[in-house]
Amino acid sequence: MKILKFGGTSVGSPERMNQVASIISSDDEPKVVVLSAVSGTTNSLVQLGEYLKSGDKNSARTLVDELKAKYDAFVDELLQSDELKAKGKSIIDEHFTLLSSAINLSFNEGLSKELLAQGELISTKLFVELLNQKGLSGQWLNALDFMRINEDDEPDIPHIAQNFPIKDFTIPGGLYITQGFICKNEKGEVDNLKRGGSDYSASLIGAALEASEVQIWTDIDGMHNNDPRVVKKTVSISELSFNEAAELAYFGAKILHPASILPAQKYDVPVRLLNTMQPEARGTIITSKEQDTGIKAVAAKDGITAIKIKSTRMLLAYGFLRKIFEVFEKYKTPVDMITTSEVAVSLTIDDDTNLSKIKEELEPFGTIEIDTNQSIICLVGDFVSDRPGIVKQVFDSLTEIPVRMISYGGSRHNISVLINSQYKVNALQCLNRDVFQLEEV
């Protein structure tokens, strides 16, 4: 049994939904299919919540009416017979009655989460009707019956395993359709796994059910070696380890939600990234297998701020770093890179909301220098420490670019280099040429 997850664009139009239906029915293996809301819907529902919070009932009404008109047209195109059209319309009516009635309720966070849940409930119900139309039968499963997060917002995998309604996956061609993103919290209220959380749902269900594989279907044929928006030529990476994928997911490779790697890794369920528009393409398979393969991919993260604390008090002292980190902890600001010398500490943050307060509190420790507009260039792969030449390969490629910080050895999977963002494009191009032999600069 496999888990297949399709994102918002993959179910974003009747035509795309049809493609999904043919992908999932191409063989007899039983499948749990996890769907996002139709693209744009969750954004609209977030907006609806904001209108309701601010008491702007007119805008809320207009938004609900416009969204309903969109879904009515969607159903018209998706479903052909009068009978199925009527069924589709009644699904839309049911959920929009709920959305409309929310306009007159007093707002609270719980209500807004309930509104957000409608997107996935609608897309999955319509999809089951589409399967009916194609003579396939799909069983609709309500994720609110088995997906749960605990009081720390952590998903409860044993609860999912226990409450998943299907125990027996031996029926050939069995299709079980459920929602990504939505869940209940420990109080039994409707909640969610945060924006983009459908990938996470798929991996949690895969872990709970010990699936043979979790497939994440998007618009690109797997994880690429470089950023296609910046360099002319990229190639899809055929194999990654969970550790490599975790590094890449954090550093802006947007196709997989970073949290989704953990459950799959813990329960050792392979994750395959595939392209809905090109189902035959190989994509990327992520497994626990580690191979000493050198650099596989480069990714960049912009909007980084570097902070340097220079102090002679650090000389031969201990406990200095703890005091510095307490400042970042106080302002709930994660620190990404860190390097130290005998008289200075340099570190980076990507959330500078509290930068001026942080600076003020660091001042008693020494001289503070701040550089904004930095980018982390991160090289990911498997570098066992006795493999010579990896760092040389990177520096040889970046000879023309001033490097502000470098971090190597934090894991065997990552070399991070901090540069001013103005050099990012050039850096990614140079690395594409020298490390991957993919293009001339």
User: According to the annotation, is 5 in a ligand binding site?
Assistant: yes
Say if residues 257 and 197 touch (Cβ distance below 8 Å): yes
Note whether 112 binds ligand ASP by CB under 6 A: no
In this complex, which beta carbon is closest to ligand ASP, that of residue 9 or of residue 354? 9
In this complex, which beta carbon is closest to ligand ASP, that of residue 259 or of residue 394? 259
In this complex, which beta carbon is closest to Mg ion, that of residue 88 or of residue 196? 196
Binding segment for ligand ASP (CB under 6 A), chosen from 134-142, 195-203, 272-280, 302-310, is 195-203
Note whether 198 binds ligand ASP by CB under 6 A: yes
Instruction: Sketch the per residue contact string, 116 through 145, with ligand ASP: x for CB under 6 A, - otherwise.
Output: ---x--------------------------
Q: Whose CA is closest to 120, among 58, 191, 18?
A: 191
Report DSSP state, residue 246. Answer: H
The phi and psi torsions of 281 (rounded to 5 degrees) equal -65, 145
# residues near ligand ASP by CB under 6 A = 12
Q: Which of 3, 5, 7, 176 binds Mg ion (CB under 5 A)?
A: 7
The CB-of-417 to ligand ASP minimum distance in angstroms stands at 31
Note whether 36 binds ligand ASP by CB under 6 A: yes
In this complex, which beta carbon is closest to ligand ASP, that of residue 102 or of residue 309? 102
Binding segment for ligand ASP (CB under 6 A), chosen from 19-27, 36-44, 222-230, 316-324, is 36-44
# residues near Mg ion by CB under 5 A = 2
Secondary structure (3-state) at 440? coil
User: According to the annotation, is 8 in a ligand binding site?
Assistant: yes
Residues 37-96 touching ligand ASP, rule: CB under 6 A, are 37, 42
User: According to the annotation, is 16 in a ligand binding site?
Assistant: no
Note whether 12 binds ligand ASP by CB under 6 A: no
In this complex, which beta carbon is closest to Mg ion, that of residue 102 or of residue 249? 249
Binding site for ligand ASP (CB under 6 A): 7-8, 36-37, 42, 119, 180-181, 195-198
Binding site for Mg ion (CB under 5 A): 7, 196
